[in-house]
Structure 1
Amino acid sequence: MGSKNKLKRFAENETFPNVIQPKRVEVMEGFHLKGKWAGHFGNGNPIVLELGCGKGEYTVGLAKRNPKKNFIGIDIKGARFWRGAKTALEDNVTNAAFLRTQIELIDFMFEENEVSEIWITFPDPQIKYKRTKHRLTNKIFLNKYRTILKPMGTVHLKTDSEFMHGYTLGLLHGLGCTVIYANHDVYKNEGCPEEVLEIQTFYENQYLDEGKPITYIQFRLTN
């Protein structure tokens, strides 16, 4: 993407009512929406997050299918989620919003027990050991998710990476978490939730064209 397109998208994001872009200092000193996301949406419906939302396909797709829930796509790359934010506005999807921030600050953005579900869709598996701290299902991140999730809140991981799938399953079992459902190839095995099959991201379509199997885990961070 050219720099002119990025600048144009950054400018448009500033005008979108469904985009929140706090400065880091605002987050660290007391984010104004922490514990008050119901006020932003104008209702007390369950809150669902998509972490590393990219173009926002899952955020918007889930919001359309679940009007009684509120969805927030989170990514540091505003020029990327611009597409999802714009689509939500064009399609009048009022229960979808986008938050530009680093995911490691997530526990500064949401209060304890404020979130009902988390989706992690096609994250970078960060395969090298020195990159473990950036892996979105490492122990540090899981503890952050546990803090903001409701006691029976669920996490969904959809990935093309067998490494990420296996790493996460092993970690969950070691921590005594509850694995509700796991599938190594969602398009060949039956029983996968419809929203896992029916919503496909830009990257997922690329992986499917390459013949890569798509994996999925649904779990709770409680036993």
Structure 2
Amino acid sequence: MGRSKLAKFAAIAERENVIEPGDALYGQLKGKWREEHFENQNPLVLEVGCGRGEYTVGMARLFPEKNFIGTDIKGARIWKGSSMAEEEEMDNVAFLRSFIENLEENFAENELDEIWITFPDPRPRDRDIKRRLTSPRFLDIYERLVKPGGIIHLKTDNGPLFDYTLEVLQERKVKGLLHTADLYNSDLQDHTMGIYTTYEKRYLSEGISIKYLQYTV
């Protein structure tokens, strides 16, 4: 591991806005994120596979009346988002370093108001279907954690992943399904609040359309 990554890991280990394995609070905030971490009763929004946390921080800027948590296993990526939140003194942002498979170690049933899945790895090989963050095994987890009436969102540049997810959701007969294969030429673009990640800007500059869907739990 390079010095830069080591320095980032050391930095997030000292930050109050990052919870990771080995911390005394890891797994101990389950069902208590509002009361014990954010110290309020505001809505709780989770971004899974948050990468550098651009979407998590972007939403938190727009909605100070909500709490936002970004989760990813890559500590060097989380460092960026946690740095932005720390520099801007944002008290409605936190980051959880964890595998997505372990979300139920850290969140209680019905604890979340929304989940965002932004530009996940499409896992194109058939043998990796179960590892897609929109596969039934992960959707089952999300739907246990989001309260009834809460919303799950997907934003992606990948057509096959979008089509796969849409097919899975239609088979599950989910409620309130909205979708578009060309977000910025649709009437759904306001649902994504005008937040662009670095990768998203690159995709758009290359003429790749952004796909989006949401449904209600």
Same-fold status (TM-score > 0.5): yes
Within the alignment, does 1:65 sit opposite 2:62 as a pair? yes
**Hey, what's the Cα distance between the residues in 2 that align with 1:152 and 1:189?**
24
RMSD across aligned C-alpha pairs, in angstroms? 1.6
The one-letter code sitting in structure 1 at the alignment partner of 2:16 is P
Deviation at 1:203, TM superposition (A): 1.2
SS in structure 1 of the partner of residue 60 of structure 2: helix
Deviation at 1:192, TM superposition (A): 2.2
Q: Which ranges of structure 2 fall in alignment gaps of 5 or more residues? A: none
For residue 131 of structure 1, the aligned residue among 125, 128, 136 is: 128
After TM superposition, the runs of 4+ consecutive aligned structure 1 residues lying more than 3 A away are: none
Within the alignment, does 1:144 sit opposite 2:141 as a pair? yes
Deviation at 1:197, TM superposition (A): 5.3
Within the alignment, does 1:35 sit opposite 2:20 as a pair? no
Q: If the length of structure 1 is used for normalisation, what is the TM-score?
A: 0.92
Deviation at 1:16, TM superposition (A): 1.2
The within-5 A match list for 1:100-115 is: 100-115=97-112
Deviation at 1:208, TM superposition (A): 1.2
The one-letter code sitting in structure 1 at the alignment partner of 2:6 is L
**Hey, what's the Cα distance between the residues in 2 that align with 1:13 and 1:123?**
23
**Hey, what's the Cα distance between the residues in 1 that align with 2:148 and 2:37?**
23
> Between the two proteins, what is the percent identity of the paired residues?
46
| 1:214 paired residue number | 210
What is the aligned length? 215
SS in structure 1 of the partner of residue 185 of structure 2: coil
Deviation at 1:164, TM superposition (A): 1.1
**Hey, what's the Cα distance between the residues in 2 that align with 1:121 and 1:54?**
9
Deviation at 1:81, TM superposition (A): 1.4
| 2:182 paired residue number | 185
Contact 1:53-1:75 at 8 Å conserved across structures: yes
Q: If the length of structure 2 is used for normalisation, what is the TM-score?
A: 0.95
Within the alignment, does 1:5 sit opposite 2:26 as a pair? no
Bigger drift between 182-191 and 155-164 goes to 182-191
Q: Which ranges of structure 1 fall in alignment gaps of 5 or more residues? A: none
| 1:93 paired residue number | 90
